[in-house]
Chain A
Amino acid sequence: MNARRFNWPLWAGFLLTLIASFSYFAFFVRFPVTRDFPWANLLLFLLAAVLLLLGIRRGFARDRAHPTRSKILTSIVSVFGVAIFAFFVFVIFIGGRWLPPSTGAPHVGQKVPEFTLSDSNGRQVSLNELMSTPIEGKPPKGVLLVFYRGYW
């Protein structure tokens, strides 16, 4: 009855909550389709929830060899699983919105402030230069300024 004692759905469910969470940052964030809304990760969480529920049923079954130990372990693992899900939802849907409003940023129709900054080779580059240096032999039609947080 060894197989009966090891609660595999519980542990598989728990492992899957970890995978569901970290795979977003390690993998799914690379693709706009899975990044903008983390549906792939939420699907993994759903699967994890099903496994955890099966695990809870198993852990609380009356015919277990050590009912009390099994119930405590099942409860702890399930709570951790839910906590991982809560952490993920928090980081993506709440933490992700903690951005300054930037109401003073240049609006459509306004001129952007000119600047000169150092490129990755240490060369000083001005916005004027970026807007006038030809692209494949033709004058540029525009510049896409992409501000980002940093590489880390």
Chain B
Amino acid sequence: MRSIEKSLARFNQAGIRPVAVSADTPEETRDWLKSAGYTFTFLSDRNADVIRRYDLVHAHAGEGGRDVARPAEFLVDPSGTVRWINLTENYWVRARPEDILDKAKLLQ
């Protein structure tokens, strides 16, 4: 998230809108965004319904055994078609903004 926020100007320039989705409540997210200084869109999927439809549920992995999302990134074009995916195999390894921006050139 931090690296996406840092690259936000470049994402804007490329015409790519980053949108984060988690099972946190809007209130939890709002407080966190304020302290972390993140400015892009964060969505709240409290019951993990959307996360389930995308088959990204990490069952009982959240606070108090809640279902949460496993980390995943999708680059989607305006028609709603997936152009690139990153399903990390290791929680600590994530896609880097420069790689995502490189893939975003496919959408030009």
- A interface list, Cβ under 8 A from B: 29-30, 32, 35-38, 92-93, 95-100, 102-115, 117-122, 125, 127, 130-133, 135-136, 138-152
Which among A92, A122, A130, A149 is the interface contact of B19 at CB below 8 angstroms?
A: A130
A-B contact pairs, 30 of them (CB 8 A): A36-B96, A96-B91, A100-B59, A102-B54, A102-B70, A105-B72, A115-B53, A119-B42, A120-B44, A125-B41, A127-B80, A131-B17, A135-B15, A141-B15, A141-B16, A142-B75, A142-B76, A142-B83, A142-B107, A143-B78, A144-B74, A145-B21, A147-B20, A147-B54, A148-B22, A149-B68, A150-B24, A150-B62, A150-B69, A151-B36
Pairwise interchain contact B94-A145, C-beta atoms closer than 8 A: no
Pairwise interchain contact A144-B19, C-beta atoms closer than 8 A: yes
How extensive is the interface on chain B, given as a class?
A: 35 or more
